[in-house]
Structure 1
Amino acid sequence: MSKNELTSVAWSFFLKVDDEKVRCQLCNKELKYFHSTSGMISHIRSTHENELRELQNENKQLRVRAPRGNPAINYEEATENLIMAICTSGASFQLLKNSWFRKFCRMLDPNFTLPTPDAARKTISKHATSYITKMMEQLSAVDKFFISFDSWEDKYENFSIYVVFLYYTDDQYNKKKVLLGIRSIAGKVTSENIEELATGLLIEYNLDFSKIMGTITDERSNLQGFLNTNGYHQVHCAAESLSHIVTAASEIPLLVEVMNKVNGLVSHLSRSKSERTRFRESSASLKIEGRLPLLFRTDRPGRCISLARAFLAHYESIKSLARGEEFTLSEQEKQNLEIFVQCATPYLEAINQVESDKTFCSEVLIHFASLSDFLNNQRQNNPVFKVLTEQTVHQFQSFLENDIALLTTFLDPRLSYTDGVLLQKSWKDVEKLVESYCADNYRCINASNDQNPEPSAKRKRPSDTHFSKFIESLTQSTVPGSIETEIVNYKASVLTYRVALDSCPLQYWRMNQSRFPTLCRLAKDVLSAPQSSIQAERYFSECAEVVSSSTRNRHSANSLNETLLNSALGIIKRMDTDPQWNEDEESDGESDEEPDAADNFNAWEPSTDPTSYELSAVKEENF
């Protein structure tokens, strides 16, 4: 432990257990120690804020943050992180040649040598190539997969960004997610250029088009032509579908003027820092918790209900504003907004759940069944309920016509054969769909179960009576090893012992591979599909900067794609290191405090051989 580290306030709270661990003296929590106090400071600020304040008041000499000076500087790592800063910020590569910036770096450390712009570009290209090569090798063994498309449009600069992920199930029945890349499309997005984008990515990773099970997109996606031409399944993004329902309810005449005031307050607070400060202080004095009514991304699912909830939660603080009267509601308006929030909150909760990659497409129908049940139990004759009910039934029926939604629900042992999920459909209908799909795609499995069939012994018929013929037809109706037999046995299994709701459905199939070989293969193919194509907001906010600055940086099309890929992988690594980093939507972006000290992360894993870098974001997610 260096002398500089000992001056940090962190050592007033922590004791060093060994060379790799430290322990908090207040709560006994142990943290890994990497010769940096950043993690300890983050823990103290989040858990022992009052104790920290008291200690600082007693001793003004204590440092809140560890000093930046490090006697053992890793110059290679510093160079990599500098290049990542350029990738994720849209800064010009010419910054590396700027005399003032070079002087700044020399003042910090005379021994540090800045890379040239060409060297930085080569490093970015090397990392992108390394990642793609590794993923190509890994994905070559995948049988079937889904791809998801999430997009964002910059209407001012006239370009769109697409984030593309691949989902599959490995041989151990673990659900996996892999980033394929981020691409930009200049001008208007058409079915032709989006098909070119999708095809280009699949070719780049040497992926077999016949292995695509389907895509997860929003229902207005321009991929429709690509899907129809190739016969792929399309799963509508559940978050988008739920958001459409809530948005439709917020636009009824009863709520138009109310939502105008909600959005007016949001715009007013976003424009005026002084009013925002006054509003925040008022909420703090009234002990009102929760996010302030500030801007979300315009295409954020459930945006209207999120803002309406924040508006009502902080309603009393409106009085503190100079223009507060403009946003004050009448009693009737406030009552209407409260009814909307009450009705739509379960939809926001559902949106938050389906956005998680750890959920399964099989849960979509259950969400809609749950929301339908919620509306039926309210028994209110209100226009909001009427619109929500109509839109929910419409979207519900749309998903009930989706083969992947039906197949995944059937193959989820937590949910299969439950009542009230299929509306007018029956589980017999779904069983026929399963039989048909397996007959068309998995004939080899049925054949492999009986490679050397023994000739059946001749049986003497005791008589030709109708009774004897009927009995014989019953005994021969299900052939051992057939998909029909598997379905019968699977139904008996799930109804006899229902697996826990918090368990992973894929693990049920891993343990029953020999018992249900055909159904296991189908489950492995389709249960990798998520419910939503919505990805982390950071991809768009940071990668948009890269696209906007592409002309200034003189990016070629290939160079831009490599930079976007590096930027996305850096974002994944950052989120993996600090999950709360992506939760900026829950704050209003105004803080006088220092930035979070938990910055002990690297965009790329360092290695002694500069040619053998492996992007740490290559690490897949297990579900």
Structure 2
Amino acid sequence: MSAVWKHFKVSEKEAKTAVCRHCSAELSRGGASAKTYSTSSLIYHLKSRHPEHHAEYEKDTAAATATAAAKRKVAPSPRTPTPSVADFLEKAKKFANDSAKAKGITKRIMEFIALDDQPFSVVEDVGFRRLIDHIEPRYTIPSRRHFSDVCLPEMYNVVSTNVHELLATDIAALSFTTDIWSSDVSPTSMLSLTAQWIDTDFKLQKIVLHSQEFRGSHTAVAISEAFANMFDTWRIDRSKVHAVVSDNARNMAKAMEDSNLKGIRCMAHTIQLAVNEGLLSQRSIADVIAIGRKIVGHFKHSPLAYARLQSIQEQFGMPQKRFQQDVSTRWNSTYYMLESLFAQKRVLATYIADHDLPATFTAYQWVLIENVLSLLAPFEQITKEISSSDASVADVIPLLAALKRLLNKEAETDHGVKTTKSALLEAVSSRFSQADSEPLYCIATVLDPRYKDHYLDVGKKMRTREMIQAELDLGKPLGDGDGQVMHSAGDENSAESKRARTTDEPRTVSLSDMFDEILQENNPFARQRTSSTAQQLDGYLSEVPIPRSNNPLEFWRTNQGRFPDLAQMARRYLSAPCTSTDSERLFSAASHVIDEKRNRLSCEKAEKLLFIKKNLPLFLKK
């Protein structure tokens, strides 16, 4: 209780009024309720009207404070000393440019520019400078030229050193992706090189090595020379180069051959070509796609039309979505375009009742769209799977086997698309004709515990086993560049086709069903146990494959004690991706680095920015 109540009492008439014991004056307690009452007016009354009693009040208050402090066994807190003028001047003093604090802030700003695709001019923007001045007034922001000419090379050298150290670790094999990109906003072409491998803890590691300027004609000779320079720059032992994944361009394939590198065609690019062949084979489907493009283009270029569409979507209680525009170089964008149109079928029908469109679908064409979507759904699923960050060449043979089997089966949704379905099957079989005879694919598939040898016919099983056994015995890879091609003891595709055509499925089957079907048909055949490596291989293949949703690298990390030689071989063969997606994603980032605001950025600086953006997160402290 405050010592002031020694001189006051609460009024008997009104609780929010206090009465002075010395002069009987009535004073308001300042609030409307007990929680808001205060003693400020009472203390002021004592000080102005009763100075002698106010001195007594202060003495009592000091004594109470000292007593409370003694009970807590702490000394009364001293008053905060008033800062001196020298203290104010020291706090207002700017950091020296070479001070640790200034260098730390400058480093973070450089990271911000590289990681978030910011132009160097951001350090001159008013809003950014105000933000930094508010956070730390003592810091002076260097010029944009300092960041581009000093900070960028310094950070690049630091990250480059870390990458060199990472490449010097125990790496069984390195796999690469590569691509060539041309900018839309500047006369710039860049050649990429990304690397990945499986470390000793069976974790997939990925880094970007190059996205260098590529001048002149993109000939095989020029590409081959560029690869040689890139490998020399990073001191990469050619014996550790397992495979290089690229697109289907002839100059790239020839460059791989001239460089004596094992080249792998990007599975996603090959599927793109196969689907294009299949879709264009049937005129009715090509017409549907053409109409879809007209409809999407109408709404894309007319804000009024899109506003009307949004109103109709609101009436139906549907989320407001734009139609997907397709791109000729991405078949799945056409799939998404048709899917977005089909999802808005009722909305479009309502729109057409009151407004004009450049083209419309007939009832038959709507049914055709639904069947085309059903037909292309497995291709879309495969494209997503092989474009994931952990997809490998081990997925190629099983995915193709399941896809071809599914295309061979008759379904209720085949009405109107049988010609396309047959053309798709023929295109897939033709463009991937050598996949199940390629040693690298076969060995990787067998070493993937999700698949093992269940997706190979008897002849290929035996041949793949022989190659794995030979590599285990000799301790070096076979079949990567020796030109060996396996020949099947029988025509697997014909057998699958015959089985499929005699099967009448009452329901729509999926790609996942095909994996289960193949696993049930292919049981491991009897194997003779001889050497310790042969026993490892026999033991491994005799076990049931793990579920497809499981991580094969986690299996090898857990079971490397049981199958030590096979585990090390798996580190090599499962390191290769089946697509060049990493390089394409790199150039998606490049399009943000070299954009409208930085169209005069030199290729050298653009490469350093990309290198830092992709690799720095690997070394940042969490």
When normalised by structure 2's length, the TM-score is: 0.65
Residue 217 of structure 1: how far off its partner (Å): 2.0
For residues 357 and 126 of structure 1, the distance between their equivalents in structure 2, rounded to whole angstroms, comes to 30
Q: Which residue of 1 aligns with 2:292?
A: 262
Match among 546, 550, 560 for residue 606 of structure 2: 560
Cα 1:228–1:248 shift into 2, 3 Å = same
For residues 359 and 560 of structure 1, the distance between their equivalents in structure 2, rounded to whole angstroms, comes to 29
Q: Which residue of 1 aligns with 2:466?
A: 432
Q: Which residue of 1 aligns with 2:268?
A: 239
2:578 alignment partner AA: Q
- The answer as to 2:570 corresponding to 1:523 is yes
Q: Which residue of 1 aligns with 2:338?
A: 308
Q: Which residue of 2 aligns with 1:491?
A: 541
Match among 204, 222, 226 for residue 255 of structure 2: 226
Residue 75 of structure 1: how far off its partner (Å): 7.5
1:149 alignment partner AA: T
Report SS of the residue matched to 1:400: helix
Match among 571, 587, 595 for residue 540 of structure 1: 587
Report SS of the residue matched to 1:113: coil
Cα 1:518–1:280 shift into 2, 3 Å = same
2:400 alignment partner AA: F
For residues 360 and 499 of structure 1, the distance between their equivalents in structure 2, rounded to whole angstroms, comes to 16
Residue 213 of structure 1: how far off its partner (Å): 0.3
For residues 175 and 554 of structure 1, the distance between their equivalents in structure 2, rounded to whole angstroms, comes to 33
**Alpha carbons 2:327, 2:334 under 8 Å: kept:** no
**Alpha carbons 1:365, 1:405 under 8 Å: kept:** yes
**Alpha carbons 1:361, 1:527 under 8 Å: kept:** yes
Larger Rg: 1 or 2?
2
Match among 293, 311, 329 for residue 361 of structure 2: 329
Cα 1:277–1:358 shift into 2, 3 Å = farther
Match among 476, 480, 483 for residue 531 of structure 2: 480
Cα 1:140–1:433 shift into 2, 3 Å = same
Give 1:9-20 correspondences, 5 Å limit: none
The Cα offsets for residues 528-577 of structure 1, whole Å up to 9 and x where unpaired, read as: 2223221497643442253356986563x5333212323445xxxxxxxx
**Alpha carbons 1:250, 1:304 under 8 Å: kept:** no
Q: Which residue of 1 aligns with 2:430?
A: 394
The Cα offsets for residues 6-41 of structure 1, whole Å up to 9 and x where unpaired, read as: xxxxxxxxxxxxxxxxxxxxxxxxxxxxxxxxxxxx
For residues 166 and 231 of structure 1, the distance between their equivalents in structure 2, rounded to whole angstroms, comes to 18
Residue 412 of structure 1: how far off its partner (Å): 1.3
Report SS of the residue matched to 1:327: coil
- The answer as to 2:162 corresponding to 1:134 is yes
Residue 87 of structure 1: how far off its partner (Å): 4.5
For residues 619 and 81 of structure 1, the distance between their equivalents in structure 2, rounded to whole angstroms, comes to 11
**Alpha carbons 1:213, 1:233 under 8 Å: kept:** yes
Identity of aligned residues (%): 17
Residue 341 of structure 1: how far off its partner (Å): 1.1
The Cα offsets for residues 118-172 of structure 1, whole Å up to 9 and x where unpaired, read as: 3202222122111111111111122211011245444674544444321111112
Q: Which residue of 2 aligns with 1:119?
A: 146
Report SS of the residue matched to 1:378: coil
Residue 334 of structure 1: how far off its partner (Å): 2.4
Report SS of the residue matched to 2:206: strand
1:212 alignment partner AA: V
For residues 230 and 410 of structure 2, the distance between their equivalents in structure 1, rounded to whole angstroms, comes to 48
Report SS of the residue matched to 1:180: strand
Larger mean CA deviation between 122-131 and 507-516 belongs to 507-516
Larger mean CA deviation between 200-209 and 531-540 belongs to 531-540
Q: Which residue of 1 aligns with 2:617?
A: 616
Aligned residues: 464
2:456 alignment partner AA: L
**Alpha carbons 2:393, 2:576 under 8 Å: kept:** yes
**Alpha carbons 2:173, 2:240 under 8 Å: kept:** yes
Residue 255 of structure 1: how far off its partner (Å): 1.6
Cα 1:339–1:554 shift into 2, 3 Å = closer
The Cα offsets for residues 359-400 of structure 1, whole Å up to 9 and x where unpaired, read as: 332122221122122222225471111111112222443321
Residue 352 of structure 1: how far off its partner (Å): 1.0
- The answer as to 2:205 corresponding to 1:176 is yes
**Alpha carbons 1:145, 1:167 under 8 Å: kept:** yes
Report SS of the residue matched to 1:397: coil
Q: Which residue of 1 aligns with 2:40?
A: none
2:609 alignment partner AA: T
Q: Which residue of 2 aligns with 1:503?
A: 550
For residues 349 and 537 of structure 1, the distance between their equivalents in structure 2, rounded to whole angstroms, comes to 19
Residue 426 of structure 1: how far off its partner (Å): 3.2
Q: Which residue of 2 aligns with 1:384?
A: 420
**Alpha carbons 1:183, 1:564 under 8 Å: kept:** no
Report SS of the residue matched to 2:463: helix
Q: Which residue of 2 aligns with 1:205?
A: 234
Larger mean CA deviation between 226-235 and 168-177 belongs to 226-235
Residue 264 of structure 1: how far off its partner (Å): 2.0
- The answer as to 2:399 corresponding to 1:371 is no
The Cα offsets for residues 42-80 of structure 1, whole Å up to 9 and x where unpaired, read as: xxxxxxxxxxxxxxxxxxxxxxxxxxxxxxxx9877655
Q: Which residue of 2 aligns with 1:250?
A: 279
Q: Which residue of 2 aligns with 1:403?
A: 439
For residues 297 and 126 of structure 1, the distance between their equivalents in structure 2, rounded to whole angstroms, comes to 40
Residue 295 of structure 1: how far off its partner (Å): 3.0
Cα 1:97–1:356 shift into 2, 3 Å = closer
1:114 alignment partner AA: I
The Cα offsets for residues 506-535 of structure 1, whole Å up to 9 and x where unpaired, read as: 343344445544433221111122232214
**Alpha carbons 1:88, 1:542 under 8 Å: kept:** no
**Alpha carbons 1:305, 1:344 under 8 Å: kept:** yes
Cα 1:619–1:506 shift into 2, 3 Å = farther
Residue 110 of structure 1: how far off its partner (Å): 5.2
Cα 1:443–1:498 shift into 2, 3 Å = closer
**Alpha carbons 2:178, 2:583 under 8 Å: kept:** no
**Alpha carbons 2:186, 2:600 under 8 Å: kept:** no
**Alpha carbons 2:196, 2:207 under 8 Å: kept:** yes
* RMSD, aligned CA: 3.7
1:383 alignment partner AA: T
Cα 1:534–1:221 shift into 2, 3 Å = farther
Q: Which residue of 2 aligns with 1:194?
A: 223
**Alpha carbons 2:314, 2:320 under 8 Å: kept:** no
Report SS of the residue matched to 1:365: helix
RCO higher in structure (CA 8 A, sep ≥6)? 1
Cα 1:111–1:145 shift into 2, 3 Å = same
Residue 408 of structure 1: how far off its partner (Å): 0.8
1:131 alignment partner AA: V
For residues 398 and 290 of structure 1, the distance between their equivalents in structure 2, rounded to whole angstroms, comes to 46
1:129 alignment partner AA: N
The Cα offsets for residues 324-379 of structure 1, whole Å up to 9 and x where unpaired, read as: 53231122322322221110011101111111112332122221122122222225
2:552 alignment partner AA: P
2:392 alignment partner AA: F
For residues 128 and 354 of structure 1, the distance between their equivalents in structure 2, rounded to whole angstroms, comes to 31
For residues 399 and 567 of structure 2, the distance between their equivalents in structure 1, rounded to whole angstroms, comes to 25
Larger mean CA deviation between 118-127 and 182-191 belongs to 182-191
For residues 597 and 225 of structure 2, the distance between their equivalents in structure 1, rounded to whole angstroms, comes to 21
Cα 1:439–1:180 shift into 2, 3 Å = same
For residues 416 and 87 of structure 1, the distance between their equivalents in structure 2, rounded to whole angstroms, comes to 43
**Alpha carbons 1:362, 1:406 under 8 Å: kept:** yes
